[in-house]
Homo-oligomer: A and B are copies of this chain.
Amino acid sequence: MTQRKLGRGVAIVGAGMSKFGAFPDKTSRDLFVEAFKEMRASIDKGFDPEIIETLYLGNYSSDLFEKQGHTAPIMADAVGLTPRPATRVEDACASGGVALRLGVLAVASGMYDVVLVGGVERMTKLPTAEVTDTLGSAGDTLYETPAGFTFPGFYAAMATAYMHRYGMTPEHLMSVAIKNHANGALNPKAQFGVSIPDWMEQRVQAALKKGKPAPTWKSISDFLHDDAANPMIAYPLRLFDCSPITDGAACLLLVAAERAREFTDQPIHIIGVGQASDAALHYRADLTTLRAARVAVQDAYAMAGVTARDIRIAEVHDCFTIAEVIATEDMEFFAPGTGFKMAQEGVTARDGAKPINTSGGLKSKGHPVGASGVAQTIEIWKQMRGEAGARQVKGDIPLALTHNVGGTGQTAVVHIYERKG
């Protein structure tokens, strides 16, 4: 398979997302309309939605979450796109990133100049046990889930394999959660927009308010080791190692690069795309890396003509803290077996050498699974344009990357972004 270039360039000229969280009164269409409106408002030079030619929608399972199939035309209709083609794309939690990639190919194919890419998932309507089952069905339900595996179990297996091989401890994983909550605290769209120290303080205040004895944690580490405050989910993963169940939607407007300046003077170009698949977890020889992510990023780097060193910031798929550690290695930012140290040493912090998940990541921003891949790109869009507010990374961001994973790595999709001029 020879490396190919896209037929023509593709740029992002608008981006918007709903608030992420638990919204019992909102349907998927409400969330999607919220994201669409913000996207529309983000387009510097204004635009008429009539020019949108098609929609690619990432959605994992409206079927199971809402008993609604055929979601794409419903979302298209909700934002006035009828009768434009509307296509739902599903690759588990990578659905949003794969929808983006299809949007890129559609523009590159010459068929379309203006493409809407969206992602949506409404998860909190279902009881938590059913959400767990629904997410579990992204594993192999012929072999894995009947053996008792849930998603935290899958990633716990990766974490213990990694600990065994490289000497990582649960404390290293906690440092990822601490960082991502610190970032999310600065993101007004985040589901848990609160740092872990503030979280601890809230718990103390809540106890005092009820006249109960206040917890006496001496440190963040103390809090994170408290089985009541941070219960074990699947060893070594505790509650704060896991991303939450979330409702949310996100939208991007893609256009042919040569038309980008009609919409904004600050387009963000997509210069590399990569996607790969893998067998289910139980077939794999190595649980400490995702082969699909490695293949996807190599394709994306080759297409973009850049290396990991050139990437200034990245949003990676931290559905669990261990997933972020592995992702930073799979993206070739750090050597195998060193990602956990980099997290603990602050290299991946907002002011570190390689800021990772400045949005708060799936961990703190929330993880409406079909929307997450699209929302990652929105953070890149904001950071590259200098619009990330209190969490803005200092200095220029000429190149950035997103890494979105489906299941336990049966799908991985990577995009590389460039701010030109």
Contacts and interface: CB of A to CB of B under 8 A. Distances in A.
A74 B280 CA distance: 7
A89 B92 contact: no
A60 interface: yes
Interface centre among A69, A98, A295 (most CB of B within 10 A): A69
Contacts of A53: 1
Contacts of A5: 110
A205 interface: no
A137 B63 contact: yes
Interface string A123-157: 00000000001100111111000000000000000
A364 interface: no
Contacts of A66: 141
A275 B85 contact: yes
Copies of this chain, how many?
2
A243 interface: no
Given A4-B112, A60-B69, A91-B70, A277 B106 contact: no
A64 to B, nearest CB: 5
Contacts of A60: 69
A395 interface: no
A407 interface: yes
A61 B72 contact: no
A6 interface: yes
A76 interface: yes
A253 interface: no
Nearest to A410: B73
A102 interface: yes
Contacts of A98: 87
Nearest to A413: B85
Nearest to A409: B73
Given A87-B98, A88-B90, A277 B105 contact: no
Given A83-B292, A105-B105, A137 B406 contact: no
A278 B73 contact: yes
Contacts of A138: 69-70
A276 interface: yes
A129 to B, nearest CB: 14
Interface string A286-318: 000001100110000000000000000000000
A142 to B, nearest CB: 7
A66 B140 CA distance: 11
Interface of A: 1, 4-7, 27, 29, 51, 53-55, 60-61, 63-64, 66-74, 76-77, 81-92, 98, 102, 105-106, 108-112, 133-134, 137-142, 275-280, 283, 291-292, 295-296, 406-407, 410-411, 413
- What 4 pairs between A and B have smallest CB-CB spacing? A85-B275, A109-B109, A73-B410, A70-B92
Given A67-B133, A82-B278, 16 more contacts: A4-B112, A6-B110, A6-B111, A55-B277, A69-B90, A71-B90, A72-B277, A73-B410, A83-B295, A87-B89, A89-B89, A90-B90, A102-B102, A105-B106, A108-B110, A109-B109
17 contacts: A4-B112, A5-B110, A54-B275, A61-B69, A63-B134, A66-B141, A69-B90, A69-B137, A73-B406, A77-B410, A82-B278, A83-B291, A83-B295, A84-B276, A86-B411, A87-B89, A109-B109
